[in-house]
Amino acid sequence: FPHKDIRLPKDVVPTKYTLTMHPVLSGKFDFTGKAAIDIKVVKNTKYIVLHSKKLKIKSYRLVNDKKENVKIARMLLNEKLEQLLLEPKQGLVKGQKFTIKLEFSGELSNKMAGFYKSSYKTRNGEVRNLATTQFESTDARAAFPCFDEPEFKAVFVISMIHEKGMRAISNMPQSKRVQMDDGNVLTRFKQSVKMSTYLVAFIVSDFESTEAETPNGTKVRVWAQKEALDSTKLALSVAKNVLSYYEKFFNIPYPLPKIDLVAVPDFAAGAMENWGLMTFREHYLLSNPLSASAADKQDVAIVVSHELAHQWFGNLVTMKWWNDLWLNEGFANYVEYMGTDHFAKDWKVLDQFVSETHQVALQVDSMANTHPISVPVTNPSQITEIFDAISYNKGSSVIRMLRNFLGDKAFQKGLEHYLKKHAYGNAEADDLWQALS
């Protein structure tokens, strides 16, 4: 395998993915997919390297911008590096544009990562299956071949093929739904904004939703199994309220036409901020009006506010590489308190920050094996390890300290400047310090 580095080369960059995914929710629980990835060559190179993990590549083609097939000398897969390499017969020259066309298949995972299968039981004991995704940090590559690093931002046009009785949702609103000859349905979604692969999401389920609209006209929907719809009211009202608050606070409108919040029965993390399609463990999204305790309600508000904060901090502006994960998480971990405080002043959550977050950070940071908030990481297991109390709690404590030191006005202006300067791009810690100073 000619490319030896775990990081992808930067000679070729993707600009657009056109993706069709077809999960099968019975029998073998697998999926097939087609991807057309538009790329441009930014530096002369002999080969194209992208990510692919546990996928069977059924066919591959390279097409130039005149729609002509380009001869490929070889296609190699490296399982250890999770990489796929295409070597055309002729070298690629800076300025050229191509489309990589791939057909592939894979198994729906049962590990709650990548493109995976989840299920739930209805009150009368019937098992219902769904297919959903969790790509952060490095599992978009397990669903479709892609340049799976945060810096390779591109636009996505996604289509899902699914059974007639099911609904498909993704980052963007549906643009059309077509009945196919084989009885399946094809749901196509509008083209996304420029975004990182780890924020792509798609779900096929029989869930239903409750909805509201923000004053700016953004459609907010909360999705759950039909029998749990009564428990979506709190999350819906938090999302509607806090989304508008953040728009005013950052002075930047939420850039998508809609936002969906989905209660996923099997979910590894607390929640995930996929752009326009946030996924949650049921406990953090559903709140039964008859039995939820005050602490349960606060959990929902905090986690919804956290994922909404990421729509700007993380999604609109993304860290260049995972060593600055704390920028994403520390920030959302602080701003979640501001959002929740705006939603329910009488909860006094800003007072709780010290005991819930700051104290934990001091405790963890006093251990011999602590680490700085920004850590060098290269491989997927190191990346997973830094989703810890230092990134979240110490990161957010530093952000809170900055706010108190700079004062609200300078803090707000600095963040607005940072977000506007790097919108739809990537940034590192130094960029934030610069914006705040």
Give the residue numbers of the binding site for Zn(2+): 306, 310, 329
- In angstroms, the first-to-last Cα distance of the chain is 46
A 10 A CB-CB count for 400 gives 22
Closest CA to 145 of 78, 76, 50, 56: 50
Annotated binding site: 306, 310, 329
Does the active-site annotation cover 307?
yes
Distances (CA, A) of 163 to 130, 186, 187, 277: 11, 9, 10, 21
Q: What are the tokens at 408?
A: 């609200």
Catalytic residue among 136, 273, 307, 336: 307
Query: Catalytic residue numbers?
Result: 307
